[in-house]
Amino acid sequence: MAIHLYKTSTPSTRKGAVDRQVKSNPRNNLIYGQHRCGKGRNARGIITAGHRGGGHKRLYRKIDFRRNEKDIYGKIVTIEYDPNRNAYICLIHYGGGEKRYILHPRGALIGDTIVSGTEVPIKMGNALPLSAV
């Protein structure tokens, strides 16, 4: 992965680095507005936990945890940051034209091909069911 190091101009950019492969424009049909009613309030809406609340508005990305597209190859198109979890996510374009988000497998790059099924090779990003082991 290509990492861009900042030229130091202020103390806050002294050790900053940005991964150039990460995109941040989500697919519109795979995101929706998440209703966040917490922010330190109880069921009546009264603040019970001080110093909580605020924060930036976040859109929820629908993640495919089941990986039930069996024996259909998919290509990693983008790697994006997900503000709702402590992980990156990948946008996958499957052969049938379907697009889904999955959690980013460590070491997977843009352009890699992944597949899920029972007879797939053991490789980073591929998914096997537990009964196949």
Is the pLDDT reported for residue 46 higher than 90?
Answer: no
More confident call, 69 vs 104: 104
Residue owning tokens 């795979």: 30
Tens digits of residue pLDDT in 53-95: 777 888 889 999 999 888 999 999 999 988 888 889 999 999 9
Measured CA to CA, the distance from residue 14 to residue 91 in angstroms comes to: 32
Is the pLDDT reported for residue 18 higher than 70?
Answer: no
**Residues contacting 33, CB < 8 A, separation 6+:** 59, 60
Residue-wise DSSP of 26-80: --GGGEEE-----TTB-TTS-B-STT-------EEE-B-SS---BT--EEEEEEE
